[in-house]
């Protein structure tokens, strides 16, 4: 099978981790290829995510690289066995590789931590709100419809998987009149409703908390069973990127906790009105909603 031209993020990550382990073991590409009795160029393709490595070959490489059996070993083996097929493949006609990578990462994650400085996070958007946001960047009605369907499909992991989802949303996102007052009112109601899910936590970062949220910008931390394989996604209109470096991931994880400390207490839809002795995320959302 010829090398693939556009590896998925999972395939690139597996290759990058194998390269890191090989160089850490001070083993050359020639030595690794001799171990599997394959051409040297194939090791390069494996480490770039362009070709797959058989299960027994991966097992042999990991042992030779000094990766002891344990969480990382098992995580890499599982990553290699995953075929990456899912509901997101039905959207290849519209959604690009990075969007599909996001859906696959979300489906494989056990914990999602997202900070959004401008919009309500896509995982929490109503269909109307998503339509209004996407229409700003896409004029073709058919493509808009497909993008909205894709975004709604991504949200299923909140109910169908054991993922823990934490969102910190800047107050500015509550005031932006995306789609008009009625659309925003229903979107704010959605934030309250989704907070009833036991695995979802929503916090609002208020204006008075300062500029830390603006400097942090928007990002998502994808966490799995193995911390070494966590990923950070930085969204940008022209060049969104995935970060795989452990130190950078730690920085964003700490950044998220700092944002959480500065943000208002999480939305708790079941709390009694008299329990709100000080302003919290729920009271701020309700305040903005009632003024629309």
pLDDT tens digits along 66-75: 999 999 999 9
Are 52 and 175 contained in the same domain?
no
Domain that holds residue 200: 87-291
What does DSSP say about strands 241-243 and 231-234: parallel, antiparallel, or unpaired? antiparallel
Does the residue 223 lie in any domain?
A: yes
Per-residue pLDDT at 273 = 58
Are 118 and 260 contained in the same domain?
yes
- Of 175, 171, 123, whose CA–CA distance to 280 is shortest? 171
User: Last residue of some domain: 81, 96, 127?
Assistant: 81
What does DSSP say about strands 164-170 and 111-116: parallel, antiparallel, or unpaired? parallel
What does DSSP say about strands 219-223 and 200-205: parallel, antiparallel, or unpaired? unpaired
Rounded CA-CA distance 47/61 in Å is 12
Rounded CA-CA distance 183/36 in Å is 58
Rounded CA-CA distance 178/67 in Å is 49
Are 67 and 176 contained in the same domain?
no
Does the residue 4 lie in any domain?
A: no
> Which residue ranges in the chain fall short of pLDDT 50?
none
User: Looking at the 3D structure of the chain, how many domains does it have?
Assistant: 2
Task: Give the predicted TM-score (pTM) of the model.
Answer: 0.93
Domain CATH for 16: 1.10.260.40
How far apart, in Å, are the Cα atoms of 181 and each of 114, 126, 185, 205, 291?
A: 25, 14, 6, 21, 9
Are 236 and 115 contained in the same domain?
yes
Measure the CA dihedral 68/70/76/77, to 10°: 100
Domain CATH for 189: 3.30.870
């Amino acid at each position: 099978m010829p090398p693939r031209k556009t590896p998925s993020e999972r395939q690139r990550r597996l290759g990058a981790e194998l390269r890191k382990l090989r160089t850490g073991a001070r083993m050359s590409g020639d030595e690794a290829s001799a171990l599997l009795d394959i051409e040297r160029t194939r090791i390069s393709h494996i480490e770039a995510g362009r070709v797959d490595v058989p299960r027994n070959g991966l097992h042999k490489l990991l042992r030779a690289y000094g990766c002891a059996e344990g969480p990382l070993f098992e995580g890499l083996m599982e990553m290699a066995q995953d075929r990456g097929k899912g509901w997101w493949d039905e959207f290849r006609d519209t959604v690009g590789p990075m969007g599909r990578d996001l859906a696959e990462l979300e489906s494989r994650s056990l914990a999602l931590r997202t900070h959004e400085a401008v919009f309500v996070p896509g995982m929490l958007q109503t269909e109307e709100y998503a339509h209004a946001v996407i229409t700003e960047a896409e004029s073709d009605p058919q493509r808009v419809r497909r993008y909205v369907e894709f975004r709604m499909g991504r949200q299923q992991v909140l109910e169908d998987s054991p993922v823990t989802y934490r969102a910190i949303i800047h107050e500015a996102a509550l005031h932006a009149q995306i789609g008009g007052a009625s659309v925003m009112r229903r979107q704010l109601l959605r934030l309250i409703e989704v907070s009833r899910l036991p695995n979802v936590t929503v916090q609002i970062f208020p204006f008075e908390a300062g500029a830390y949220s603006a400097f942090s910008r928007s990002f998502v931390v994808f966490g799995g069973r193995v911390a070494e394989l966590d990923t950070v996604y930085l969204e940008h209109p022209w060049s969104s990127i995935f970060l795989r470096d452990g130190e950078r991931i730690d920085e964003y994880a700490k950044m998220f906790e700092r944002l959480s400390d500065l943000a208002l207490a999480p939305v708790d839809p079941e709390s009694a009105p008299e329990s709100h002795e000080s302003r919290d995320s729920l009271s701020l959302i309700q305040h903005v909603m009632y003024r629309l």
